[in-house]
Chain A
């Protein structure tokens, strides 16, 4: 099957078009300077070609104005590109309020996707058109990179740390997902498809076959099965702190530091509880490293995030 040859890949987001615009600017600049240098070289090489053995050159020491000129002009051109690129880059890295949160786990050599309302998929990602999406990604083994050329965006997927990729797809269609960071033998097979659907189609897809419990529901079960609740009952006398309203709050630690309870903090609390001890508590919590995989950690976190604000009647005071 031969496809029509296109110079630019499809663009399925506004950011993608912005990237193309910068590329266009840089290409105009590049073509201009390449043509200029080539032309000068060709003209000079012909015009001043040595025609007889003792033909001399006209020695020219240099020219300060010229040096300044061709220092400042390239610098200005480059800095303009810097500023423009930085603007779009910050737009890529900002997540609008109310984005659709989707978890992605990379492992040799597949992408596992978990939607907030329970649907899961592998090497496919379905999203509604026009809706901001935020992928929260982590790797179970080596570094991968989630790359969608049609969105002109990618982000490395690291082991041991969450990374995020935000986008708003604005064109219905099916697009390639590639792993862009070399990750071992089947790196080139770690590919998938991004399906951008109309809202109605998306809703139909959501309720289609293959949907299971939402991550937070799985998380609630795990929370009980792993007996987290024995220490984190939320009662005053429980051995561990209440987890209600924890996510996003500032946590005072035993060593006097205050840290923000973000995703990485919650993950670390489960895997390496001894690293950061909450002020007023004993380092009693056992590690769960080896007992839960990244997806389950994600589910536990999803569950913990549903725990509401602390009961006003509670005497717990630390936060």
Chain B
């Protein structure tokens, strides 16, 4: 391992009580990554993966609420068929900036950059990522990219939709396309570097005894995600460069008038952006596996199937981009192949869902907040996934493509899936990250409010979409109003549901009950071998792994001893 020691090395890591966790209740450590050093410099120049995770946490939360504010205005506008609240220009900027902020600056980094950064080294028994400085650089790149795009908003906005379709974006729009796209371009490098960092870390820095098939599924998910980040992101970078060249210098790539081909842009865009969907959902699936195991006190059913389905998704995910283009002038035979492959890529997700559900069977289930989010995820992701089948079916897609049906579908996957998992994960690892517990009752209420608000917001959109309401409409015909009002009402509940955790989690940083290393009694190196919060170098000594992931005790006495079984997957 060639990584240099962080400058915080002066602080000697103090003893962390290793071994089986006791419900001691009293904080076992004074020294941790949070109080290891003080002052803004110790944060802005940190190379500790945990501190960088906190930096990401602050940034993505900021972008989430910016993106959310745009959504609130949109839903207000859509409460009536007429375009009465904001002008069409403004509305178009709202949905564009909502999409750009949420996709590129919240959803993509949320789970991997916050939870992944914090947990990948902890879960595999390493003291940091392989390239700590690169990790810090990733955060800077990401934040600069985000601020670049935000600058575009403040200075007038952009109205192309987050998909930047040419030639509208390259020739016709007179808004800040380049500044926004440049922000996306820049932050893409952060994605590439994070992916690289995770891959090398997972390959080279696993603790002794941490074989591939002892890895927590969270790690498998991040491994698969990293592959996509590394291979996919350069394509969007190139696409943005081509777009900028066409816009600035009238070099024809996409605009037919300049001799380009507008459909080419869509191929390039979706070649990245479909796999990008998996950059968002795969880490979320990893979170769900961890939560379900911990709150059922049970090993994930069909561990290796869940692990390999992540890889299958990562690979197949690169072969289905054409399902976004069934009506854009792609040949019907290409449509046929993309439809077929899209059906196939749905299967690994179904397999995961069944395995998670089966894990609950004969578990020892505790319905704490993280588990509520995870079970909510199961329901919403099932709906999101199944409605994907409608879209992969050629004839049906011709009808619902570019309608609210699609909007509802991807919000079920992205918000019902990713955001639920992210919130669940945040609650689950919150005591690990900060050593304090959030108020459980309030948190459960918030989880229920989010679930209800979410369904009320997005379920009506399936219906209104099937009825034919196109997306990105500032005004709409009267028949669609009832469902739109329902959706707007749901959005206000959902907004409340998101504000609550923001408030009580912040509160808990100061007033939350202090917890020991393993408040959930969960398995995993991060719980069993590291403090809450962990020390700067995570572990007092390099952990030695002797058992499989999720080696919870068995109810049947005859097979209680599971430790030492670890090798059987090799």
Q: Chain A interface (Cβ within 8 Å of chain B)?
A: 1-3, 5-9, 15, 18-19, 22-23, 26, 29-30, 33-34, 37-38, 40-41, 44-45, 48-50, 55-63, 66-67, 70-71, 74-75, 77-79, 81-82, 84-90, 92-93, 108, 141-143, 145, 147, 149-150, 152-156, 158-161, 163, 176, 178-189, 191, 272
A188 and B83 contact, CB distance less than 8 A? yes
Given A82-B339, A180-B403, A29:B389 Cβ within 8 A? yes
A183 to B473, CA, bound (A): 11
A9 and B559 contact, CB distance less than 8 A? no
B389 and A59 contact, CB distance less than 8 A? no
A13: shortest Cβ distance to chain B, in Å? 11
Q: What's the interface size class on B, roughly?
A: 35 or more
The binding surface of chain A is classed by DSSP as mixed
Q: Which of B329, B355, B378 has the most CB of A within 10 A?
A: B329
Q: Chain B contacts of A181 at CB under 8 A?
A: 165, 402
Q: Chain B contacts of A66 at CB under 8 A?
A: 302, 354, 358
A187: shortest Cβ distance to chain B, in Å? 6
Shortest 10 CB-CB distances between A and B: which pairs? A160-B256, A149-B468, A85-B393, A88-B395, A89-B394, A44-B360, A62-B302, A57-B298, A78-B343, A188-B473
Digit string of B475-499 for contact with A (CB within 8 Å is 1, else 0)? Answer: 1111100100000000000000000
Residue pairs across A and B with CB atoms within 8 Å: the count is 294
B553 and A56 contact, CB distance less than 8 A? yes
A153 and B398 contact, CB distance less than 8 A? yes
Digit string of B78-98 for contact with A (CB within 8 Å is 1, else 0)? Answer: 000001000011001000000
Q: Can you name the residue of chain B whose Cβ is closest to the Cβ of A77?
A: B389
A50 to B159, CA, bound (A): 52
Given A8-B467, A86-B336, A158-B263, A26:B396 Cβ within 8 A? yes
Which of B261, B394, B468 contacts A176 (CB under 8 A)? B468
A160 and B367 contact, CB distance less than 8 A? no
Q: Can you name the residue of chain A whose Cβ is closest to the Cβ of B473?
A: A188
Q: Chain A contacts of B172 at CB under 8 A?
A: 108, 141-142, 184
Given A41-B357, A48-B361, A145:B402 Cβ within 8 A? yes
Q: Chain A contacts of B88 at CB under 8 A?
A: 185-189
Among listed B104-112, B135-143, B186-194, B344-352, interface-contacting one: B344-352
A288: shortest Cβ distance to chain B, in Å? 14
Among listed B56-64, B380-388, B432-440, interface-contacting one: B380-388
Digit string of B336-376 for contact with A (CB within 8 Å is 1, else 0)? Answer: 10011001101100110111011011111111000000010
B332 and A89 contact, CB distance less than 8 A? yes
Q: Which of B34-93 contact A (CB under 8 A)?
A: 83, 88-89, 92
A86 to B335, CA, bound (A): 9
A156 to B266, CA, bound (A): 12
A33 to B476, CA, bound (A): 33
B383 and A59 contact, CB distance less than 8 A? no
Write 20 A-B pairs (CB below 8 A) sorted by A numbering. A19-B399, A26-B390, A34-B379, A34-B386, A57-B297, A60-B361, A61-B299, A62-B302, A85-B392, A86-B336, A86-B394, A142-B168, A142-B171, A143-B168, A147-B468, A152-B399, A154-B399, A160-B262, A180-B403, A181-B402
